[in-house]
């Protein structure tokens, strides 16, 4: 079996379409494993993986941990808030101390863009980016595209709108890069203040009217407002944002066709999406969570299979 063209997974921009298809095909096999009574395989036995999270995380951290255990890897978990980082230790020193314990692979989330790229140039272990600032979140984009493929049969030719805080979202950038590589048409929708100026260079459409965007698309990926990354006010109030860009059942039922609704989580119910939409039959939010384990198993397996 051919391997990935990259030694690390730092961003979607490092993958080519063949890499993405290989990850999907491998994830298909692992999803079969996850639906068996015995959900474990010995694929990464004797491989040690460190999960290093400098930002809070629930779904991504648990998904990676579960993927590693399903592959029989040995894991160690690191949280910056309870580590020597709070005493002034640098990123490289922190990781090198962990690698001195003979760790083979590092899964890292960091608040600063490019942290994974920087680390990959200074340590020998393989790096998987679990999100770096507002830059990229490659495994989220892979599981989103995999979920669309699973639901609609293929990604190519499908119309996907990403709604919300595009400016501060690492999920948005990775999704755009991944979907474009797979042949999808992509549109972004949100207030002008939350749409990056460079967005046109990525080959995506821009729409500021939510209903027009939803009538155009086959899939709507609803993003939360990233208040923790906003140092100024980008819109008057959450209430006004919800009135203009929140997806509710009334809007969903009024559309010309039935669309698929996605959300990378965590959901702010009643803001970007209402509960009756999040829990509707058109929502594949929990499918995304399930597929996240299979995708991350595939990524870890394919990277670990490479020789240094």
Composition of the chain by helix, strand, coil, percent to 5? 45, 15, 40
Question: Does 224 carry a binding-site annotation?
Answer: yes
Task: From 87, 76, 168, 162, select the one nearest 125 (Cα to Cα).
Answer: 76
Question: Does 229 carry a binding-site annotation?
Answer: no
Chain-centre distance of CA 17, in angstroms? 17
Question: Does 59 carry a binding-site annotation?
Answer: yes
Question: Does 203 carry a binding-site annotation?
Answer: no
Question: Does 266 carry a binding-site annotation?
Answer: yes
The verdict on whether omega for the bond into residue 266 sits within 30 degrees of 0, i.e. cis, is yes
Nearest-5° Cα angle at 30, 24 to 218: 40
Contact 118, 213 (CB under 8 A): no
Question: Does 39 carry a binding-site annotation?
Answer: no
Residue 101, class by beta-carbon neighbours within 10 Å (0-12 exposed, 13-18 middle, 19+ buried)? exposed
Q: How many CB atoms lie within 10 A of CB 278?
A: 18
Question: Does 87 carry a binding-site annotation?
Answer: yes
Question: Does 157 carry a binding-site annotation?
Answer: no
Q: Which of the 8 DSSP states describes residue 114?
A: T
Task: From 119, 138, 121, 122, select the one nearest 64 (Cα to Cα).
Answer: 138
Binding residues: 59-60, 87, 109, 137, 140, 170, 224, 265-266
Binding residues for L-aspartate: 87, 170, 224
Binding residues for carbamoyl phosphate: 59-60, 109, 137, 140, 265-266
């Amino acid at each position: 079996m051919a391997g990935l063209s990259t030694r690390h997974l730092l961003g979607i921009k490092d993958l080519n379409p063949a890499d993405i298809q290989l990850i999907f095909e491998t994830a298909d096999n692992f999803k079969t494993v996850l639906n068996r009574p015995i959900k474990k395989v010995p694929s990464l036995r004797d491989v040690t993986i460190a999960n290093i999270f400098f930002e809070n995380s629930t779904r991504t951290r648990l998904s990676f941990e579960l993927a590693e255990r399903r592959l029989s890897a040995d894991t160690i978990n690191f949280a910056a808030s309870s580590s020597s980082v709070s005493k002034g230790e640098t990123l490289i020193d922190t990781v090198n101390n962990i690698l001195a314990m003979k760790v083979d692979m590092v899964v890292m989330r960091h608040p600063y863009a490019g942290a994974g790229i920087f680390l990959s140039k200074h340590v020998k272990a393989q790096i998987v980016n679990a999100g770096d600032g507002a830059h990229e979140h490659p495994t989220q984009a892979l599981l989103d595209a995999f979920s669309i493929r699973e639901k609609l049969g293929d990604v190519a030719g499908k119309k996907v709108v990403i709604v919300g805080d595009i400016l501060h979202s690492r999920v948005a950038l990775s999704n755009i890069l991944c979907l474009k590589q797979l042949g999808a048409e992509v549109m972004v929708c949100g207030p002008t203040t939350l749409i990056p100026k460079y967005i046109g260079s990525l080959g995506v459409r821009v729409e500021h009217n939510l209903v027009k965007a939803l009538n155009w698309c086959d899939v709507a990926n609803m993003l939360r407002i990233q208040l923790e990354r906003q140092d100024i006010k980008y819109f008057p109030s959450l209430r006004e944002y919800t009135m203009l860009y929140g997806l509710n059942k009334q809007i969903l039922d009024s559309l010309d066709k039935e669309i698929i609704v996605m959300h990378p989580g965590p959901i702010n119910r009643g803001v970007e999406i209402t509960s009756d939409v999040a829990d509707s039959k058109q929502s594949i939010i929990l499918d995304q969570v399930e597929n996240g384990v299979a995708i991350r198993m595939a990524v870890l397996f394919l990277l670990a299979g490479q020789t240094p």
